[in-house]
A and B are shown apart, each in its own frame.
Chain A
């Protein structure tokens, strides 16, 4: 297990997240894909902190901030999903275009 292995794994996770973002049509499915991408990013932080960094403690702390921001994102997403679902009974991202200019 070397740094390169971990980087490749993180890249694969990120690509899987991109695939999910592009192919899902449900709003919650998009959120799931974003979580997969964030997971890859956190893995990268941990791998670099373990193998290369001069300051591994910072590498261990930063993913915790990512997790906290991700929790905020989920809370707001829950509210948006509920507000949308109350009005229109579906979560198709193709039909959500009130903000289109």
Chain B
């Protein structure tokens, strides 16, 4: 049962991701990306990572993809990609290199013997994540604070980059 569900979800995930990178219309691609993120959240729930599933839906779908949709709607108009035709040779080169990459990695992982199986871990509780995130001993508090500084820096940098220059006519 669990296997069947996993295969279904994995197939859906691969199909939606392929649509996201292949569809010429970027708006449709972003919507396919939203679908693929929802399927990934379902896989996280199968892996007993409820927190990650929530973060995936709230951060990725609610934040990042919406951001991307705003970029698409602000700049390109719907269907911009039609003006930049992708040649078949470019697609073939991309597909060939991606296949080479995938084949190499699968061969590499096939030769790799995983460490001794420890069985599956118990589900990670939200409490444990919250305490660990802000713990000073063996915790992630420095990374947490650095991320907040990085977010602030990125926001200020974005405003500076996107601002019109003084003498520029709109």
Contacts and interface: CB of A to CB of B under 8 A. Distances in A.
Interface of A: 1, 3-9, 11-26, 28-29, 31-33, 35-36, 39, 42-43, 46-47, 49-54, 56-58, 60-61, 63-65, 67-83, 85-86, 90-92
B133 A61 contact: yes
Interface residue range, chain B: 35 or more
A53 B135 CA distance: 20
B78 interface: no
Given A49-B124, A79-B157, A14 B29 contact: no
Interface of B: 2-3, 6, 10, 13-14, 17-18, 20-22, 26, 29-30, 33, 36-37, 40, 43-44, 46-49, 51-52, 55-56, 59-60, 63-65, 67-68, 70-72, 74-76, 80-81, 83-84, 86, 90-91, 93-95, 97-99, 101-102, 105-106, 109, 114-115, 117-118, 120-122, 124, 128-129, 132-133, 140, 143, 147, 150-151, 153-155, 157-162, 164
B67 A5 contact: no
A74 B68 contact: yes
Contacts of A91: 75-76, 80
B130 to A, nearest CB: 10
A14 to B, nearest CB: 7
Contacts of B86: 23-25
B55 A79 contact: no
Contact of A19 (B33, B98, B105, B132): B98
Contact of A76 (B13, B84, B133, B161): B161
Contact of B97 (A16, A22, A64): A22
